[in-house]
Amino acid sequence: MKAKVIITPKPEVLDPQGKTVQTALEHMGCTGVGEVRVGKYIEIEMDGDADTVKAKLSEYADKFLANPNIEDYRLKLED
Amino acid sequence: MKFAVLQFPGSNCDQDCVHVLQNVLGHPTRLLWHKESVLGDVDAVLVPGGFSYGDYLRTGSIARFSPVMQAVKEFADQGGLVLGICNGFQILCEAGLLPGALIRNRSLQFRCEHVYLKVATQDSPFTQAIPEGKLLRIPIAHGEGNYFCDAATLEELEAKDQILFQYADRDGDVTDHANPNGSLKNIAGICNTARNVAGMMPHPERAAEPALNEDDGRLIFESLIAGLNPAPAPA
């Protein structure tokens, strides 16, 4: 099973990378751009059923893959 | 006084710390490789700057799981003195020994320059020997030094006098213009509530001997030494 971990800066955390990408898009002529946030994306191959993988990865995302002081994360599973 | 300086793959300020502690200040100092799980007989631990484990995932996020950091946690829990400098500060935050986190500089630039530091409190083993009102001139060199924590944590840091250093201008005023990285409240260094663990982004070991024409950083190491070797009481 493939697990996807999507990590984003918490809403209250300043994201200068996102701001810079937003400005660059506007400079390129891309219209209608709203706020941009830049995060991380991790793919993990893992054995086990969906519930087990989700439980295990939540535990390790909380203590390692994401930093709860500054980041939120979402898990997505794919067979 | 005996010091240990940690060494991770990617540390690059470890030898500078050893040089200052041993050759400039004359205190026995050992390097401790990240795989060591015992600190041995030490009075204080320095977590030096650099790019431990290539800064992969997040700065300091891998180093915190090394065997030596488990020993440092135990040492800190027992009241041992621990100072993290630059990447060392990032590691101590990731390890939960200090609150908050260091994120990308707001300019997105790696900042390598001298800054002025206001000493926000002398009530710590890391600042006690710094004369009152003394402004420190010390270099910084980092891309992720933007101190962030939530509002409740910031309130606690202020209420418990845990902010040690703030970026200031040459007059000692803490202004946004003097803030090199976007840190909340211009924070350059903090300590924990027990006041035995501290982290700072500036590099005192790079400004600690007269041969370099600058030695303000030395006052931080001398604070540590003064705490462990108190001057004899007058007869």
CATH number for position B204: 3.40.50.880
**pLDDT below 50 — which residues of chain A?**
none
Q: What is the pLDDT of residues B97-128, one digit of tens each?
A: 999 999 999 999 999 999 999 999 999 999 99
In a domain, B21, yes or no: yes
Query: CB of B114 within 8 Å of any CB in chain A?
Result: no
Active site residue B93: no
The Cα–Cα gap between B169 and B7 comes to 33
Active site residue B203: yes
> In sequence order, what are the residues at sequence separation of 6 or more whose Cβ sits closer than 8 angstroms to the Cβ of residue A38?
A9, A15, A17, A18, A21
Q: Do B108 and A20 touch (CB under 8 A)?
A: yes
Share of chain B above pLDDT 70, in %: 97
Domain count, chain B: 1
In a domain, B149, yes or no: yes
In chain B, what residues touch A14 (CB-CB under 8 Å)? Answer: 103, 106, 146, 148, 182
Residue B231, pLDDT above cutoff 70: no
Q: What is the pLDDT of residues B56-80, one digit of tens each?
A: 999 999 999 999 999 999 999 999 9
Q: What is the pLDDT of residues B13-24, one digit of tens each?
A: 999 999 999 999
**Could you give all domains of chain A from N- to C-terminal order, each with its CATH number?**
2-78 (3.30.1280.10)
Strand blocks (E) in chain B = 3-7, 29-33, 44-47, 81-85, 101-103, 111-119, 135-142, 146-148, 163-168, 187-191, 197-200
Residue B227 pLDDT class (50, 70, 90 cuts): confident
Residue A3: beta bridge partners? A44, A77
Q: Closest residue of A to B100, CA-based?
A: A69
pTM of the model: 0.93
Residue B190: beta bridge partners? B163, B199
The Cα–Cα gap between B53 and B221 comes to 26
The ipTM, to two decimals, is: 0.85
Share of chain B above pLDDT 90, in %: 94
Q: Do A16 and B65 touch (CB under 8 A)?
A: no
Which residue among the candidates B86, B93, B149, B191 is catalytic per the annotation?
Answer: B86
Active site residue B112: no
In a domain, B105, yes or no: yes
- Domain extent for B199: 3-228
Type of residue at A22: Q
